[in-house]
Amino acid sequence: MSEAIGLPKVVSDIAKQLYKKIEDSKQLKGKTIQSIIAACIFIACRKANVPRTFKEICALTKVPKNEIGRVYKTIEKLLVADAQATAAANGMDLPNVNPVTAPRNPGDVYTPTASTNASDLMIRFCNRLQLSASIQATCVELARRMADAGTLAGRSPISIAAAGIFFISWLMGRGKSAKDVGEAAGVSEGTVRNAYKVIWASKEQLVDPKWIEPGKGSMVCSTNFQG
């Protein structure tokens, strides 16, 4: 499955290790093998710094997004509980990490995965849209500025990434349609445009003047897309 969508070998290796640990623990009775595999791949992608969305793992494994999410959360809770038990048994003070094999190798630890953020997704979506490396870098910087400012707080990372790419592509004179951006990100055109409106309203705070220096970009490029 990992090879089918071009994931590096490290992803399948991590997923296999997680799957074996869960199977050996016998603590996910009632969950299907397919859902456990899907959740392990999802976690492994985050661990290998090549995060994929629930929707992408759903398309790969044919397991419903909600089920992947439930099993993923269950697996992480089990690993955290195991960390606490292992730490207590070995006199270790590891409140924030989960030693998967602590008795054998205390340095080999499992840390709960962090939520995927917009910047993690932007480069991949930009590649699908054949946008340049400079535009990708600007998109990532926009994502950081939006996070700092709380712009689009509460929206999904996918929506934030898509809207940010839509905004920057027009700002930098390489405009992509909301439809194309939505297809690349796996969200609707309406989702892209609605989130874009929020970015446009905060443009003075978010746009670095260096982005629109002569010959680089222009705020005028985006004015026709604020509605």
**CATH number for the domain harbouring residue 17:** 1.10.472.10
Specify whether 45 is located in the same domain as 141. Answer: no
Q: Tell me, yes or no, whether 57 lies in a domain.
A: yes
Q: How many domains does the chain have?
A: 2
Specify whether 66 is located in the same domain as 133. Answer: no
pLDDT at 105: 38
Give CA separation, 125 vs 3, 32, 68, 160, 199, in Å.
Answer: 19, 31, 22, 12, 18
Specify whether 147 is located in the same domain as 72. Answer: no
Q: Tell me, yes or no, whether 96 lies in a domain.
A: no
Give CA separation, 94 vs 71, 79, 84, 87, 211, in Å.
Answer: 24, 13, 7, 6, 44
The tens-digit pLDDT sequence of the chain (227 residues) is: 988 888 899 999 999 999 998 888 888 888 999 999 999 999 999 888 888 888 889 999 999 999 999 999 999 888 877 777 766 776 655 444 443 333 333 334 556 676 778 988 998 899 999 999 999 999 999 999 999 999 998 888 999 999 999 999 999 999 999 999 999 998 999 999 999 999 999 999 999 999 988 777 777 655 555 44
- 152 contacts 19 by C-beta, under 8 angstroms: no
- Residue after which a domain boundary falls, among 72, 89, 106: 89
Specify whether 135 is located in the same domain as 220. Answer: yes
pLDDT at 189: 94
Chain center to CA of 221: 29
Specify whether 71 is located in the same domain as 124. Answer: no
Query: Measured between alpha carbons, how far is 185 from 60 in angstroms, rounded to an integer?
Result: 15
Specify whether 85 is located in the same domain as 149. Answer: no
The full DSSP string for 174-218 is ----HHHHHHHHTS-HHHHHHHHHHHHHTHHHH--GGGGSTTT--
- Residue after which a domain boundary falls, among 47, 68, 89: 89
Specify whether 129 is located in the same domain as 210. Answer: yes
pLDDT at 68: 94
Q: Domain limits at 161?
A: 118-225
Percentages (nearest 5) of helix, strand, coil residues in the chain: 65, 0, 35
Q: Tell me, yes or no, whether 51 lies in a domain.
A: yes
Specify whether 24 is located in the same domain as 81. Answer: yes
Query: Measured between alpha carbons, how far is 123 from 196 in angstroms, rounded to an integer?
Result: 18
Indicate whether this model's pTM tops 0.85.
no
Q: Tell me, yes or no, whether 103 lies in a domain.
A: no
For the purposes of burial, counting CB atoms within 10 Å of the CB of 113, is it exposed (0-12), middle (13-18) or buried (19 or more)? middle
Q: Tell me, yes or no, whether 153 lies in a domain.
A: yes
Q: Tell me, yes or no, whether 82 lies in a domain.
A: yes
Specify whether 162 is located in the same domain as 69. Answer: no
Specify whether 131 is located in the same domain as 216. Answer: yes
Query: Measured between alpha carbons, how far is 63 from 189 in angstroms, rounded to an integer?
Result: 25
Specify whether 124 is located in the same domain as 85. Answer: no
For the purposes of burial, counting CB atoms within 10 Å of the CB of 100, is it exposed (0-12), middle (13-18) or buried (19 or more)? middle
Specify whether 180 is located in the same domain as 137. Answer: yes
- Residue after which a domain boundary falls, among 70, 89, 108: 89
Query: Measured between alpha carbons, how far is 173 from 134 in angstroms, rounded to an integer?
Result: 12
- 135 contacts 122 by C-beta, under 8 angstroms: no
**Cβ within 8 Å of residue 196, ≥6 positions away:** 163, 166, 167, 178, 225, 226
Q: Tell me, yes or no, whether 104 lies in a domain.
A: no
Residue entry with tokens 């439809």:
179
- 211 contacts 164 by C-beta, under 8 angstroms: no
Q: Tell me, yes or no, whether 21 lies in a domain.
A: yes
